[in-house]
Amino acid sequence: MSAAAAAGTWRLGDLEVNRIGYGTMRLTGNGMMGNSDGPPIDRDVAVGLLHSAFEQGVNHVDTAAFYFSPLRSANELLNRALSSWRGDVVVATKVGPARAPSGEWLHRGGPDQLRGQVEENLRQLGRDHLDVVNLRVDGPRTASVAEHFGALAELREAGLIRHLGLSGVLPEHVVEAQAIAPVVCVQNSYGLDSRRADERGLVDLCGEQGIAFVPFFAVSGRRREAAADQERDARVLSVARAHNATPAQVRLAWTLHRGPHVLAIPGTANPAHLAENIAAGALRLTEEELAVLDKPDMGTVRTQP
């Protein structure tokens, strides 16, 4: 059994994937916000990292055409890796937001612009159809997803898309979309320190309807795209010590314990962190440890400057 299979599997429609996946955003230099503080990752290194993930059993990868920095595109790097890989990998991408080639964010387009975004992803990934396309919206600021999701449902009927999902949504958006076409996954920010999806009942709703819940920022939490920081949560540190695990592994394990329909897509450009993230799928937390993690933060652990 591969390392990524230790957490079990889930089905995105007719596509079975290991619950531990990989997010490509960090390959670009935190390109979601259009910045790149350091030198761009070497293309061969990036392809090698992706192949390493596949070799360890990762068969579900998250990407987007708007994941790019001045010199690197996540889709381009993923295309290179997949073109030289013989195994099956499910690729989930997102549409809705758009960026100019300069990196500047553009106004969110109407439903009629989604076909162009889908075709852009097809070109960049070198595919004739997309496995999963998530409609990314603005949560509470979005009154309805019907028009945009309906446009994607038409592209699904036309064969450009295999399965549909949602991202950044509220429970009512899921209900609305399900009335138009099947929703196979929901991607929202979620983790030990950011549980709005629990407060709104979204995680449970997905489980009840057989929809994969795919959290992003499960490790970084409120730091979002920021670089990794030293763990200061005493709850996480105590559980990590008990398992001889890293804090990131504990955070991922906590997320996966939330339900069999919960997946993880941690991203990194560090091979050691990649292996640690994948190994988190084998970490089994006790009920007592889960209770400790669910308690209010016992306070941060101060370190010497």
Give the span between the Cα atoms of 197 and 59, in whole angstroms: 25
Residue 242: count of CB within 10 angstroms of its CB? 14
The 10 Å Cβ neighbour count of residue 16 is 13
Active site residue 67: yes
Grouping H, G, I as helix, E, B as strand and the rest as coil, residue 91 is strand
Q: What is the DSSP letter of 264?
A: B
Contact 250, 236 (CB under 8 A): yes
Tokens of 118: 């889908």
Catalytic residue, from 22, 67, 68, 149: name it.
Answer: 67
Q: Measure the CA–CA gap between 65 and 92, rounded to whole angstroms.
A: 11
Task: Give the end-to-end CA distance of the chain in Å, rounded to a whole number.
Answer: 43
Sign of the CA dihedral running 231, 45, 8, 282: negative
- CA–CA separation, 62 and 243 (whole Å): 29
What backbone phi and psi angles, to 5 degrees, belong to 201? 80, 15
Q: Is 72 helix (H, G, I), strand (E, B) or coil?
A: strand
* Residues designated catalytic: 67
